[in-house]
Structure 1
């Protein structure tokens, strides 16, 4: 097939007014019950039942993608997968997983507090109360920084969290925020970034803008190419993502029947090839996996999931993202009419102090309530139009709401913001404050100045930081990639030594956060 067949799923359901709505699309929108109120105001009207259907469909599409994909997570690395004849199913419902349950914690709290952006200090408290196990990579690193009172978004700053430079939680932690913002991609990006910046920065932040904007656009556009274009418009022009999407479009055009060759081209151009984790947990290959699955899947949900699994790398994550987009396009009613075995359950197996009786639809209904809150805050409303209950929505053009932020620029911003407080915390008698001061000073290259100016307090603070054994485990045993190794060398130069062994997951998830470093015995 060629690229022209990508619009098989009700092409041109509606283009956002701000994107340039054509007369033909106005006519199509009218047939679908979606009305453009006033082109100059950029408002559109979408039936309430359509919004409900698409939010529920998007969340179900995400749940199926990740749940069915867990068996393929990091299974297909050197070679592509061989999944065939895939049939979507959730015979026992879905369970909490880090691809969905971070967002669940946020969505639940946002709904309870009727607040779209939970203050960052409260987010740190929320994590300490509810997110303490089954966390990995950049999120695990961020969680340990919270133990020394480094609050978000600093926990995801590229100068403080070495995973933040590449980790894919900018992708797998963002989809639900796109569902909150139908036809409002800028709002989707802003809300998504508020939460993903807890653990990521740099290019991963661009993936948040990219994917949330695609999902927001999928409420009003069914053509995969146009959805991809909206995502590109939401990224910084200096990001790698515009080039990546352009390459994937061209490779799909050249090799429409040879997805394996396209996968080879992705590996050749976009794999960093510096370490296993950096390549396979990075934004380059996994963003490409989502885009390629959407292109080769050509609007077919099951085929798109199959391609997401077969392109590989972090396959469950990639299928969840692609599944959210197509689930939004297709809608819940369509998905439930396919004869797939779907049980409406979302079982909590990971998150403390969260509901034990959640379903996929009750989760989705929380999202619907937050959409209504966002729509009202943006000037929209729920009204009766032509004898139908509709949402009047202020449609937005996709654009980058944050630029591509480098490590140098982020370090300068942190220095300006924290310089005086670091010295003050170093002199504090509070354990966490002094430990935080040493950590920040080393990351921001202030260690020589402060250790010479306050030698006694510096040595005391080093001892305090060593007692935060999970932080030390992350620095010295977290993984093997360039930015972490560079940070490790900074700590060694400042007098730290590696713990004798890596902590087990059970030890990391322990409620104990500090031990006297002179008494720590790692058996």
Structure 2
């Protein structure tokens, strides 16, 4: 296994980043002023797309009627400061800013593990693996989680193209580093495809040419590449009827389980991004509207199609209704970046990318800086099959590295309920400590491990003799769910009470258990969030207290 890991690492180090450009190679010239203009537009496009589509997210698994499309507002530009489509990829920018462009994949994993924002699907699974010492590349391997082909890196790969104009090999390498934290195979290729479209958008405006550039950056044998070719072919066959193409894509990439093989499968969602680019005819609004109306993850997809198309235009060529109300002082949630700070760090990293790609910076006749970028054909990552994944790398974090990871459930449990531990907590419904929930502050969310195994707070306590001692709990439920509160001491049941719309009418239930009979010897307490079905089974804990009277 150790040899496998070393071989994988050597291949990664040599392949994605290496350049062998001859001295007389063709180059592209990009004035730095134009780079800034288009890079800013790329971020604005992401922001507008995700903000516009946000009210529709997850509501439609069919084509959304046009009348359900939210109206455009000039305030949309300030609607994404709390969106994971933006702040997750800023974690990657921060890693490179702090540790350099060549930050190791292991350090990138530590930084991602230390993030404290809510996550879902592949992001949540990958971060959980990292926090449990499963280092990259194994953190994204299908052996360790079941949504490695999900949408996650696709929606957070925009940064890669925005700091690598005209440099698809850099984009591929960034995918091997940051996309590898949570995604595998098609899940990672999707992000490399998106990033390569962004990188090309600094020089090209035709959506078909942008798609071709993305396709060159991923393995030809991949299912994601097959999806891209399908979408281009269906567009040719149905030039004026995107709804027909939607039906073909939905049948193959949603209904067919040979293709839809992961939760939030990235091939389906990628098809809706392309739908906007292929049928929007270069119109900024229509591109995002079509991607949104395709349904499913209908905020992430217009964010991607909008971001790519806006980049190709540049901020100075956009109608000012998209950006004139931008709040340049607010900071994106969970980051160190306001919009101006984001722009600044992107330019800083783009200059570092130039060095890696063998590019240079010259000055034109007016003394303005110009990026001079070699034209190099990209070499895609090695092919991986989600259905038949390759061997694991046996990559684990050392105790010294684990000491650098200071975020996760075990830390949040100690903040919420010192002395207690958490056992059998599932990943659904974003477990962990929340600042506010249901009108209360500092609420801890748990979720059963599976349909029969409850999640439990556990603690061994010694109850003093001669005193009245009670366990006091305040627990809540999701508005659409219910669960069973079970309290045990040394395996003996002390309380069993449903937490449902009858017992917790305002969302909360208070329970008290007399612990006095346990006096005189240690006892292991278990407070269990036991499932009653498998729908919104999360437990919400506002108070766990042992009090003497």
Instruction: Give me the TM-score of the superposition, normalised by structure 1.
Output: 0.70
For 1:219 and 1:258, locate their aligned partners in 2 and report how far apart those are by CA, in whole Å.
29
Alignment of 1:487-502 (within 5 A): 498-499=453-454
User: For residues 122-159 of structure 1, what are the alpha-carbon distances to aligned partners after superposition, in whole Å with 9 as ceiling and x for unaligned?
Assistant: 23432343x22321111112222233222233211122
1:236/1:402 contact within 8 Å kept: yes
Tell me by how many angstroms 1:406 deviates. Answer: 4.2
RMSD: 3.7
1:364 maps to 343
User: For residues 207-232 of structure 1, what are the alpha-carbon distances to aligned partners after superposition, in whole Å with 9 as ceiling and x for unaligned?
Assistant: 12211111111111111111111111
Tell me by how many angstroms 1:477 deviates. Answer: 11
| Length, aligned pairs only | 410
1:81/1:311 contact within 8 Å kept: no
Alignment of 1:82-101 (within 5 A): 82=66, 83=68, 87=72, 89-90=74-75, 93=78, 94-101=80-87
Greater strand share, structure number: 2
Alignment of 1:252-401 (within 5 A): 252-272=235-255, 281-335=264-318, 337=320, 341-345=324-328, 347-348=330-331, 350-351=333-334, 354-355=335-336, 358-387=337-366, 388-401=368-381
User: For residues 149-185 of structure 1, what are the alpha-carbon distances to aligned partners after superposition, in whole Å with 9 as ceiling and x for unaligned?
Assistant: 2223321112212111x21012012111111110011
Give 3-state SS (helix, strand or coil) of 2:528's partner. coil
1:127 and 2:112 matched: yes
Give 3-state SS (helix, strand or coil) of 2:361's partner. strand
2:150/2:263 contact within 8 Å kept: no
Q: Could you say if the C-alpha distance between residues 284 and 377 of structure 1 is closer, same or farther in structure 2, counting changes exceeding 3 Å?
A: closer
Give 3-state SS (helix, strand or coil) of 2:91's partner. helix
For 1:329 and 1:389, locate their aligned partners in 2 and report how far apart those are by CA, in whole Å.
20
User: For residues 232-279 of structure 1, what are the alpha-carbon distances to aligned partners after superposition, in whole Å with 9 as ceiling and x for unaligned?
Assistant: 11121211233322222232233233222221111111114669x967
For 1:349 and 1:498, locate their aligned partners in 2 and report how far apart those are by CA, in whole Å.
37
2:25 maps to 41
1:77/1:312 contact within 8 Å kept: yes
For 1:187 and 1:112, locate their aligned partners in 2 and report how far apart those are by CA, in whole Å.
19
Tell me by how many angstroms 1:370 deviates. Answer: 0.4
1:221 maps to 204
Give 3-state SS (helix, strand or coil) of 1:474's partner. coil
For 2:353 and 2:332, locate their aligned partners in 1 and report how far apart those are by CA, in whole Å.
30
1:236 and 2:219 matched: yes
Greater helix share, structure number: 1
2:527 maps to 521
For 1:333 and 1:373, locate their aligned partners in 2 and report how far apart those are by CA, in whole Å.
25
Tell me by how many angstroms 1:347 deviates. Answer: 4.3
1:70 and 2:54 matched: yes
Q: Which has the larger radius of gyration?
A: 2
1:188 maps to 171
For 1:349 and 1:254, locate their aligned partners in 2 and report how far apart those are by CA, in whole Å.
42
- Which has the larger displacement, 318-327 or 101-110? 101-110
2:101/2:353 contact within 8 Å kept: yes
Name the structure, 1 or 2, with higher relative contact order (CA <8 Å, separation 6+): 1
Give 3-state SS (helix, strand or coil) of 1:162's partner. coil
For 2:365 and 2:235, locate their aligned partners in 1 and report how far apart those are by CA, in whole Å.
43
Alignment of 1:448-463 (within 5 A): none
Q: Could you say if the C-alpha distance between residues 137 and 85 of structure 1 is closer, same or farther in structure 2, counting changes exceeding 3 Å?
A: closer
2:456/2:527 contact within 8 Å kept: no
Q: Which runs of 5+ in 2 are unaligned?
A: 1-21, 404-420, 432-448, 458-475, 479-489, 492-523, 530-549
Tell me by how many angstroms 1:313 deviates. Answer: 1.1
Instruction: Give me the TM-score of the superposition, normalised by structure 2.
Output: 0.67
Q: Could you say if the C-alpha distance between residues 256 and 192 of structure 1 is closer, same or farther in structure 2, counting changes exceeding 3 Å?
A: same
Q: Which runs of 5+ in 1 are unaligned?
A: 1-37, 432-466, 479-490, 506-515
